[in-house]
A = this chain, B = another copy of it.
Amino acid sequence: MKWCRIEIDGSPAFGILRNDVIAVVDRVPFDKFEYTGQIVPVTEATFMAPVQPQNFYAAGLNFRNHITWANEHFGKKFQVPTEADIGYRSPNALTGHGSDVIVPADSRGSLEFEGELVLVVGKRAKNLSEADAMSCIAGCTLGNDLSEREWQFNDRTFWRAKNTDTFKPMGPFVATGLDPMRQEVTVSVNGKEVSSYSTEHMIFSVSQYISRMSRYLTLHPGDVIWLGSDGPTMPGLKDGDVVEVSNPSIGTLRNRIVRAV
């Protein structure tokens, strides 16, 4: 099953993908739901981020090749993490498939994509073993962890670099039943593939992250866990560039970059 959240008459609604239409349902389809009878063609839908999470977790550095690349590219000395220490973003930055990413006019740094697989929590969970970790996950979606590098390296926190409004596109669909450790994530800019990797190369597995997180914190329905990106990204997204993050089972998350003037 693939589901999404769309805007209908100014309000959010959930729907299930049926070929080229979205069949609207009466609640977030984590568990039980009813069809309302309303149908929206995919081509006419206004996509929102699939959930509005209470907690927005992000793995940060979770692929060796990305760490190697980042150290060469930025002249940094990022270490390979020794524990699955999760990080955070703030939900204000989320936006949906198809919306514009607005870069503030005073940004002078390089804006760079990071295409990521994202877990959506569907059940409240605490103290899960690694074996049971996936029991709380409703499905997988895609995210673009857009980062303004000058702010990232010079501000005291990531607040502007990664959490400016619209800097966190997520979607388009949540796909159920996927193995998050066996997914391909591909990024294209203006139709040209610029990055492709498999999630099998994670330093810490999805189960290791979830089990360790749930020892200290309660996972809540709707929480999201972004799993980090592998390999290189690309400097200097420009006004009008279209970035696509794709996975064969989830679809394509497409957003245009708009540099405010």
Give the chain B neighbours of A61 by CB distance below 8 A.
Answer: 156
The CA-CA distance from A61 to B157 in the complex, in Å, is 11
Interface SS majority for chain A = loop
Task: Return the 10 tightest CB-CB contacts between A and B, nearest first.
Answer: A85-B156, A87-B157, A164-B216, A85-B155, A55-B90, A92-B217, A86-B159, A160-B216, A55-B92, A88-B90
Interface residues of A (CB under 8 A from B): 52, 54-57, 60-61, 81, 83, 85-93, 104, 126, 155-157, 159-160, 163-165, 213, 215-218, 220, 223
Q: List 20 A-B contacts (CB under 8 A).
A: A54-B92, A55-B92, A56-B90, A60-B157, A83-B155, A85-B156, A85-B159, A85-B160, A88-B88, A88-B157, A88-B159, A88-B163, A92-B218, A92-B220, A93-B217, A104-B215, A163-B217, A164-B217, A165-B216, A165-B218
Closest CB-CB distance, A131 to chain B, in whole Å? 20
In the complex, what residue of chain B is closest to A157 when comparing beta carbons?
B87
In the complex, what residue of chain B is closest to A106 when comparing beta carbons?
B215
Closest CB-CB distance, A109 to chain B, in whole Å? 13
